[in-house]
Structure 1
Amino acid sequence: MKHIELFAGIGGFRKAMDLFGNDHHIPMECVGFSEIDSYATKTYKANFDTANEVEIGDIVSFTSDKKNIECLQDFDILTGGFPCQSFSMMGKQKGFEDVRGNVFFNIIKILKTKKPKFILLENVKNLLTHDNGDTIRIIENEIKKAGYKNIYYNVFNTENFGLAQKRNRLFIFATTEELPDDFIFNERNVIDNYNKNLKKSSLLKQKSTLEILEKEVEEKYYLSATLKPTILSNGTKNFKSKSEINQLIARPLTATMVKMHRACQDNYYSYEFLNSNKPLEYLETKYSKEELAKHRIRKLTPHEAFLLQGLNGNFVTNAMNEGLSNHQLYKQAGNAVSVNTVYAVLHYLFITNNLKKYVL
């Protein structure tokens, strides 16, 4: 199965494709990838052999010349976690042409020229309600006009696919091929298929953060006495939220988690919790904020963050060996697509619904 990975980041889609292919004896070949962030590209190339692939780089520049697209090898599936830029000018004054600069339309250029059989895209769940629903309607219509009559989308939570992170993401699937009459693309069906058919796979799996958090880490990951009250705060007079640390299911990883300043949003853990003989009983103890502030509290390490996205320790080590800083690694983990979710979707599409018949 040949594929291209757009807005590749560090290669979450590709990692899922590789694991899925190995597990189900489906040869995988990536013909090219696009990524504008040079640091993410370093991590990508540290973990994948890209020697014979087209390194697209800036997709806007690449697709500005149709000959570049035409020179790409044919491929079966296009994947990518595209950024959600504003479509808010749609229908206002100059109308449609004003949003042609949006990078989504560069995907459409490739689809119209190369016409792969399948598309699998990922984005934030808020894309469904962005601009009062106009954005998703535009996306759907543009994909249809590119020749894809079957388009589906649904929100999937990473937590339901063997990773201890709550992460809701929208997946858009489209194909030119005929689908089974009873085909349904939703999280419930993919979860049922995952639970029934993916008990054995190459995926990393964890039921809680306790399975991946290290008991002892370097001192640099611990918060200062000054910072602890900030992340333990329940907010200000204008913003109230219940701040909690030691989450068994992590909050969604973010690209800004390196800053260690976002109470109620990022993930923090206490030494006392991680090294308790009975961590669940520790959680039941009602510590005051003042008492918790006396505990040693730390953020995730880059290795832990990558594990929560389904990427093993070697993935981070390979990047570090290329000189990537922790700052960049946190950003990359926060921006990544969860490997397990992509794998579960691929299995549901190509094995359970036998769409592999169109590519093998």
Structure 2
Amino acid sequence: MQKIRFIDLFSGIGGMRLGFEAAARSLNLETECVLSSEINPDAQLVYQTNFGDTPLGDIRLIDQLPEHEILLAGFPCQSFSYAGKKAGFGDTRGTLFFEIARLIDTFKPQAFIFENVRGLVSHDGGRTLETIKDEIKSRGYSFDYFLLNSSNFSLPQNRVRVYLVGILNASPQLGLVSDLGPKDSHSCSHQQLSLFSPLSKPVTVADILEEHPDAKYDCSPEFVKALKQIVNNDLDRLHGMRLIDYRGGNSIHSWELGLRGECSLDEIELMNLFILKRRNKEFGHHQDGKLLTKQQIATFFAHPNLDEILDSLVTKKYLQRNNELYKPVSGNFSFEVYKFLDPAKISVTVVASDANRLGVYHNHRVRRITPREAARLQGFPDDFSLHSNDDKAYHQMGNSVSVNVVTTVAQEVIQNVLYSAKPVALQNAV
């Protein structure tokens, strides 16, 4: 059996390695990881536990790459993320791409697979991606990128990431197709995004749920009681519900739950109208709405006791008053759960900052999803050992790649490397 050697840079807990190894097995190839690198000690620990290899630390301290055929790298995404400041190459983390380029100069593999957030594609008007492309092509590689949604790869998660692929001295015809997938987690159609792989099997959140998770994941009795009052004891109505203070729609708000103090019906009505009406063009064009005066509030909430209601909401900290201008005290970090997943649909994107506050109503329990369920949303097998600290396990899953997507991308790349016109120096396994 032939063996294909690979390197795993910015390895995290090993999601790209899992996907790559699965792809190689499907093509009857053995694999050998000749070098891995990850700077985070908690991720190093999980990686070592699962693979028996302790990754090297800071990539900047690696002088040279050993011989290998394929390079994997999920290089840091914060500097390109919509959630970050999008500083790109002006951010120290962004410059780490050039560390990859430096190492490629020490040994050129036959191919590479890089993963990043979708914001990389549009960052700086596309100039950042063009810079990466120029750096890669100047080293003799082809360059393709694909925006792929995990929901199209038998995973019930609406997660779009960009995959950069290159093959040395070749012009491959890859069978991958970019597709952003559904606009939200309530509309999902499964498509065939690879000529190599069959049509993906539709899966939903229900497929990844544990039947009897530990009681520590249950929401507090006080929180559940407040939720029951909102949904008139019909907890099925929680499916797909958001808990957030600056959006309307299918949302529950802190003032409806009484998290900072019970609110009267008038106070609840004012708050709901406030977050809706402050976006009206007559009040300005700010994305989340404008600060309003009492006179402006009175145009949509005419009440004889408006002063008293406003004072009460300020005292309870549902509203903030600055120079006679009012705005909601917004945010969602005061909620035990910020989004309830619908078991019949797919999940929102699992992210590091609040993967521990995704909730579900399942088997008559209102609870948070478990770290194992978060891992299943990312395609990690159940025999993969998670970090013993739940918060760290959630965080790592939010930062990880979706294993299934990597498998499909790697299958395409390996196929092209194996069967390209230029022969590949694969080792014969001992």
* Normalised TM-score (structure 2): 0.63
Quote the residue 1:134 is aligned against: 127
Secondary structure at 1:25 match in 2: coil
Matched to 1:268, the amino acid is G
Residue in structure 1 matching 2:210, options 214, 220, 232? 214
Write out aligned runs for 1:225-236 (5 A).
225=221, 227=223, 235-236=244-245
Quote the residue 1:290 is aligned against: none
Q: Distance in 2 between matches of 1:143 and 1:164?
A: 33
**Shift of residue 163 of structure 1?**
1.2
Distance 1:156 1:165, change over 3 A: same
2:52 counterpart of 1:49:
yes
Write out aligned runs for 1:312-323 (5 A).
312-316=381-385, 319-320=386-387
Quote the residue 1:242 is aligned against: 250
Quote the residue 1:123 is aligned against: 116
2:338 counterpart of 1:346:
no
Residue in structure 1 matching 2:169, options 155, 158, 177? 177
Quote the residue 2:395 is aligned against: 331
Quote the residue 2:371 is aligned against: 302
Q: Distance in 2 between matches of 1:226 and 1:355?
A: 61
Distance 1:227 1:113, change over 3 A: farther
**Shift of residue 176 of structure 1?**
1.3
Q: Distance in 2 between matches of 1:22 and 1:184?
A: 19
Task: Spell out, residue by residue over 1:99-151, the C-alpha distance to the aligned partner (whole angstroms, 9 max, x if none).
Answer: 79721111111111111121100001111111222211121122223x13410
Quote the residue 1:158 is aligned against: 150
Task: Spell out, residue by residue over 1:210-250, the C-alpha distance to the aligned partner (whole angstroms, 9 max, x if none).
Answer: 122023222211122555669955533x4445346232211
**Shift of residue 313 of structure 1?**
1.7
**Shift of residue 354 of structure 1?**
4.7
**Shift of residue 192 of structure 1?**
4.0
Matched to 1:152, the amino acid is D
Task: Spell out, residue by residue over 1:8-28, the C-alpha distance to the aligned partner (whole angstroms, 9 max, x if none).
Answer: 011011111222222221121
Distance 1:123 1:195, change over 3 A: same
2:322 counterpart of 1:253:
no
Residue pair 1:85, 1:102 contacting (<8 A) in 2 also: no
**Shift of residue 350 of structure 1?**
2.4
Residue in structure 2 matching 1:27, options 5, 30, 33? 30
Quote the residue 1:83 is aligned against: 76
Residue in structure 1 matching 2:160, options 158, 168, 174? 168
2:104 counterpart of 1:107:
no
Distance 1:194 1:270, change over 3 A: farther
**Shift of residue 76 of structure 1?**
0.9
Quote the residue 2:59 is aligned against: 59
Q: Which runs of 5+ in 2 are unaligned?
A: 81-85, 180-190, 228-237, 252-338
* Normalised TM-score (structure 1): 0.74
Q: Distance in 1 between matches of 2:175 and 2:45?
A: 38
Q: Which portions of structure 1, spanning 4 or more consecutive aligned residues, are displaced by more than 6 angstroms?
A: 87-90, 96-101
Secondary structure at 1:107 match in 2: helix
Aligned identity (percent) is 31
Matched to 1:57, the amino acid is G
Residue in structure 1 matching 2:195, options 190, 193, 196? 193
Residue pair 1:80, 1:121 contacting (<8 A) in 2 also: yes
Distance 1:58 1:89, change over 3 A: same
Q: Distance in 1 between matches of 2:165 and 2:20?
A: 15
Residue in structure 2 matching 1:74, options 67, 71, 75? 67
**Shift of residue 259 of structure 1?**
4.9
- When Rg is computed on C-alpha atoms for both structures, the one with the higher figure is 2
160-169 or 132-141, larger mean C-alpha shift:
132-141
Q: Distance in 1 between matches of 2:75 and 2:6?
A: 16
Q: How many residue pairs were aligned? A: 303
Q: Distance in 1 between matches of 2:38 and 2:125?
A: 29
Q: Which runs of 5+ in 1 are unaligned?
A: 91-95, 200-204, 261-266, 276-295
Secondary structure at 1:313 match in 2: coil
Quote the residue 2:257 is aligned against: none
